[in-house]
């Protein structure tokens, strides 16, 4: 089953006198339950594509179906509800509220939806145990490590039971140990909850955790790699693909 379908999507900024096409007819799809990475050099269009798929931005033309619904046809008011019910977000900067405990940060999306407290607590217990931060619930974000903050942010994204999670450089602000812990959490979430995860990353190590990696260059799909179950092999193939695309991994930011 296809969870996300992108068809001939373009994105143009500016007007007729001065314009820039960030995406040039991108077509790709993501199956339900997949963990997919998107990579590309700076300016390739990967973050633009993620923002359009996740409803943060709108395409200039083309179609995007999420769970069978063409989001390009949804009006802003309905889009906000669709976003709340169907999509989860994980950002590089965590976006946790420092004046709220981790418990309250995670519960916030359901609290705003007037979900009953016992339902919220049951869901929170399940997720925080799965992601290894159950013992941190009464702490504040500033008391946690970067990796713990990101795992809390993943819990918050999952608390509404989204069909798909969009992650924008989720390990970009973390050291290697914390990055590995967060990526293992994504893998566990993907495997145990069957949540579709689409992750933009510049890091070949992060990409090696994925089932599949898509590569963008100059606003177009440049290539793709499939995992055969061996993380180290995929890591090497990603590095080879980055080399073929030109430039060093430092440019893939």
Q: Give CA separation, 142 vs 31, 70, 185, in Å.
A: 37, 40, 21
The pLDDT tens digits for 194-218 are: 999 999 999 999 999 999 999 999 9
Q: How confident is the model at residue 14 (pLDDT cuts 50, 70, 90)?
A: confident
Tokens of 213: 């990696």
Contact call for residues 197 and 36 (beta carbons, < 8 A): yes
3-state SS string over the chain? CEEEEEEEEEEEEECCCCEEEEEEEEEEEEECCCEEEEECCCCCCHHHHHHHHCCCCCCCEEEEEECCEEHHHCCHHHHHHHHHHHEEEEECCCCCCCCCCHHHHHHHHHHHCCCCHHHHHHHHHHHHHHCCCHHHCCCCHHHCCHHHHHHHHHHHHHCCCCCEEEEECCCCCCCHHHHHHHHHHHHHHHHHHCCEEEEECCCHHHHCCCCEEEEEECCEEEEEEECCCCHHHHHHHHHHHHHHHCCCHHHCC
Residue pair 105/152 in contact (Cβ under 8 Å)? The answer is yes
Q: How many structural domains is the chain composed of? A: 1
Band (250; pLDDT cuts 50, 70, 90)? very low
> What was the pLDDT predicted at 247?
54
Sequence-distant (6+) residues with CB within 8 A of 45 are 11, 22, 23, 26, 216, 218, 219, 220
What tokens does 237 get? 């193939």
Report the alpha-carbon distance of residue 217 to residue 24 in Å, rounded. Answer: 10
Contact between 149 and 136 under an 8 Å Cβ cutoff? The reply is no
Beta bridge partners of 165: 88, 197
Q: What is the CATH number of the domain that holds 180?
A: 3.40.50.300
Q: Rounded mean pLDDT of 230-238?
A: 95
Query: pLDDT by residue (tens digit) across 108-153?
Result: 999 988 889 999 999 999 999 999 999 999 999 999 999 999 999 9
Domain that holds residue 238: 2-251
Of the candidates 140, 157, 4, which has an alpha carbon nearest to the alpha carbon of residue 71?
Answer: 4
Residue 43's pLDDT is what? 87
Residue with more model confidence, 112 or 70: 70
Distance, CA of 145 to CA of 28 (rounded, Å): 36
Question: 117-130 vs 146-158: helix axis angle to the nearest 10?
Answer: 130
């Amino acid at each position: 089953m296809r969870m996300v379908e992108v068809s001939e999507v373009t994105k143009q900024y500016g007007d007729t006198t001065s314009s820039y096409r960030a995406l040039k007819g991108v077509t790709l799809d993501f199956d339900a339950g997949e963990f997919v990475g998107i990579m590309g050099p700076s300016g390739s269009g990967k973050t633009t594509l993620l923002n359009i798929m996740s409803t943060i931005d709108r395409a200039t033309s083309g179609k995007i179906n999420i769970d069978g619904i063409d989001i390009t046809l949804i009006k802003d008011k309905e889009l906000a509800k669709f976003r709340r019910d169907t999509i989860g977000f994980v950002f590089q900067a965590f976006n946790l509220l420092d004046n709220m405990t981790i418990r309250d940060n995670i519960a916030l999306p359901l609290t705003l939806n007037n979900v009953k407290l016992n339902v919220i607590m049951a869901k929170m217990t399940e997720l925080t145990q799965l992601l290894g931060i159950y013992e941190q619930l009464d702490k504040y974000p500033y008391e946690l490590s970067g990796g713990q903050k990101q795992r809390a942010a993943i819990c918050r994204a999952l608390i509404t039971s989204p069909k798909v999670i969009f992650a924008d450089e989720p390990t970009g602000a973390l050291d290697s140990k914390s990055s590995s812990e967060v990526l293992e959490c994504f893998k566990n979430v993907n495997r145990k909850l069957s949540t579709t995860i689409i992750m933009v990353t510049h890091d070949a190590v992060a990409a090696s955790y994925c089932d599949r990696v898509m590569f963008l260059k100059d606003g177009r799909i440049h290539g793709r790699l499939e995992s055969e179950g061996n993380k180290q092999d995929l890591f090497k193939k990603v590095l080879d693909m980055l080399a073929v695309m030109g430039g060093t991994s430092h440019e893939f930011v």
